[in-house]
Chain A
Amino acid sequence: MTEKKIRVLIAKPGLDGHDRGAKVIARALRDAGMEVIYTGLRQTPEQIIQAALQEDVDAIGLSILSGAHMHLFPRLMELRREKNLEDVMVFAGGIIPDQDIPRLKEIGITEVFPPGSSLAEIVNFVTTHIRAA
């Protein structure tokens, strides 16, 4: 029996239009055999959670470089709880200062990847965290 593919939603919350990283990660995950859905730009927390629900994903990767993460992520994680999607693993990357990471982990974001993180590291992380669930 073939193993079910890991399904990942790569999302761009808020107005930030820097999509290079998000698209590179999306492609790396796809190359690693995962099913990847990319939300496109300018997604509200509501739209992201709706997409996660609709696409029945195992994980959400959030990419943000605008500095709005401390406002948008808590809202998103709240909606995730409301929609009973707490088994969907959430990870993030972009421009997220070190001092914000503890708070983000507190609200349920499993890992934050700073600039310079390797693709292999991220692919391994997703694989490990989904299979282990």
Chain B
Amino acid sequence: MKTIETREQPPASRSFETLSGHPVREIYTADDLRGFDVPRDLGTPGEYPYARGVYRNMYRGRLWTMRQFAGFGTAEDTNLRFKYLLEQGQTGLSVAFDYPTLFGYDSDSPQAYGEVGRCGVAIDSLADMETLFDGIRLDQVTTSMTTNAPAAVIWAMYLATAEKQGVDWKDLSGTIQNDILKEYIAQKTFIYPPEPSMRLITDAMGFAAREVPRWNTISISGYHIREAGSTAIQELAFTLRDGIEYVEYGMRAGLGVDEFAPRLSFFFDVHNDFFEEIAKLRAARRIWARTMKERFGARDPRSLLCRIHCQTAGVSLTAQQPYNNVVRVTLQALAAVLGGTQSLHTNSLDETLALPTEKSVTIALRTQQIIAYESGVAGTIDPLGGSYFVETLTNEMEAGARGYFDRIDALGGMVAAIERGYPQREILESSYQYARAVERKEKIVVGVNEFVTEEPPPVDTLVIDEDVQKRQCSRLKELRARRDSTSVSRNLAELKRAAAGTENLMPRILDCVRCYATLGEISDALREVFGEYQEPNIF
């Protein structure tokens, strides 16, 4: 029977690729899945290899955590934003710290000039942490804290705050990002060189295993790697290979794999290419489960779980026509949900211009709530499972990632690879190729290189109060005046002695934090022992 001809369909005018440059064919069929073994490659949710999801009933039992990254100005300012977000229905907290805090500098240090409270909240001591969570009981919320080089100190402040609130550490649940490898690769908020930094991380792992059993000690991150310009496969590969490195270091530090692995968690970007992102998350779960089982012999099923937090891609947002960003974030959030994320942050429409206003962060939160409650997608698990396209893409991404594992293993591991500049150069190349592609209009960015309109940004943006730095400085002065300075000196000296040895530093850091040594003082004590990392200058 003759097919009905209406208008002649033009042939494809170009080749098609994902955002990352991965080829996409016209159609995927059963032929593409020849050899696909359902129990081996797909499985059941909550069962090895977890491709379909880490939990048995996923969002039917509990929705992903709506966890908006927030922080600016002083602890009081951010405390109010936390309370606002919780009132608006978010279900977890996520703390953004300012640059001085990320680097272990106090607000009155020379390096902090102009930076205090701008990109996040300024935290100089336990006193600020107590204010940050004033009126928020730490056994009633889970908190994720984006801190890396000084993560042990920030975490100690959180633990000490819990003590002050009368909350038992066994009842605390949350995450510290604490992923130093990706700092060297991408985010660049490192302080110390790799070996002492890894020691701080394994100390946190060991301490959590004994004292804070529901705490996620690392959020092994791909988000920053992706934002720095990597492809999706590089993001997947470098993140999981960082994870492998942490497991190796943990075991070398004398911990049994099942002691700490259940508390490793992951953090991925969700970028524009819808199906590529879904496949990436599915591949991540399957690769991690297989790796933990085959490479490390983990026995506890919880050690095999790749539990994921996602954030929509900051780099995809445009300063031009900012309301378009609401649409981008919606699609990205949907991909995260269809990809089975456990936790999600959605960016606000004005984030290319400034930190989010109350109004714009509310829209971002409502985006998640509309997906959760109105779209129906949360009602069944892994709805794209079995799709010829999605399963093929998942397989291809796994293969691509394993190629990188081999290369990094051959270099001697991730620390060695970083020292040689390998992941950094891969990212440089990918980011430059992408910039060139946008320049040539091979990649269209709506409102930027196509569909451009001449209009100023219509949004009112958040402005950080110029007084923040002054306020923090006077607080520090008061703090130093009222605390027991003998205690501070003694505890800092103890910390330095311990840092030069091999004992777990968490108890010593806690002692410093409890007597109100500042973040800067504690970080500087460690700087004296560990030194500072200088990154290779490559571009």
| Contact (Cβ within 8 A) B188 A19 | yes
Question: Which of B100, B103, B115, B537 is A38 in contact with, Cβ under 8 Å?
Answer: B537
A115 to B352, CA, bound (A): 8
Chain B, 166-222, CB within 8 A of any chain A CB = 187-189
Given contacts A19-B188, A40-B537, A116-B318, contact A27 B99 (CB under 8 A): no
The complex places the Cα of A88 from the Cα of B433 at a distance, in Å, of 30
Q: Is the CB of A116 within 8 A of B448?
A: yes
* Cα of A16 to Cα of B448 in the assembled complex, Å: 25
A17 within 8 A of B: yes
Cβ–Cβ < 8 Å partners of B377 in chain A: none
Report the minimal beta-carbon distance from A118 to chain B, rounded to whole angstroms: 6
Instruction: Take A27-B432, A38-B537, A116-B320 as given contacts and tell me if A17 and B115 are in contact as well, using a CB distance cutoff of 8 Å.
Output: no
Q: Are A97 and B99 in contact (CB under 8 A)?
A: no
Who on chain A is nearest to B112 by CB?
A: A15
Chain B residues, CB < 8 A from A98: 456-457
User: Does A32 reach chain B (CB closer than 8 Å)?
Assistant: no
**Binary contact readout B115-132 vs A (1 if CB under 8 angstroms, 0 otherwise):** 100110000000000000
B102, B105, B118: the one within 8 Å of A67 (CB): B118
B318 touches A23 (CB 8 A): no
Shortest distance from the beta carbon of A42 to any chain B beta carbon, whole Å: 8
CB of B115 within 8 A of CB of A66, answer yes
Residue A61, interface by CB 8 Å: no
Cβ contacts under 8 Å, B102 to chain A: 15
User: Which chain B residues numbered 107 to 155 have a C-beta less than 8 Å away from chain A?
Assistant: 111, 113-115, 118-119
Per a CB cutoff under 8 Å, which of A19, A40, A115 touches B318? A115
In angstroms, Cα B353 to Cα A116, docked, is 12
Query: Measured between C-beta atoms, what is the minimum distance from B95 to chain A in Å?
Result: 17
Category for how many chain B residues contact A:
35 or more
Residue B428 at the chain A interface, CB threshold 8 Å:
yes
Taking a contact as CB atoms under 8 Å apart, the answer to whether A68 and B428 are in contact is no
A114 at the interface (CB under 8 A from B): yes
B115 touches A14 (CB 8 A): yes
A95 at the A/B interface (Cβ < 8 Å)?
yes
A98 CB to closest chain B CB, in angstroms?
A: 7
Chain B hits for A118, CB < 8 A: 439, 449
Of chain B, the residue at the smallest CB distance from A70 is B114
- One digit per residue, 1 when the CB lies within 8 angstroms of any chain B CB and 0 when it does not, for chain A 15-32 equals 111111011101110000
Closest 7 CB pairs of A and B: A71-B114, A17-B188, A68-B114, A15-B99, A67-B118, A23-B539, A116-B448
A-B contact pairs, 19 of them (CB 8 A): A14-B99, A15-B100, A15-B105, A15-B115, A17-B189, A18-B188, A20-B229, A23-B432, A23-B539, A36-B539, A66-B115, A67-B464, A68-B118, A70-B114, A97-B461, A115-B352, A116-B318, A116-B319, A120-B439
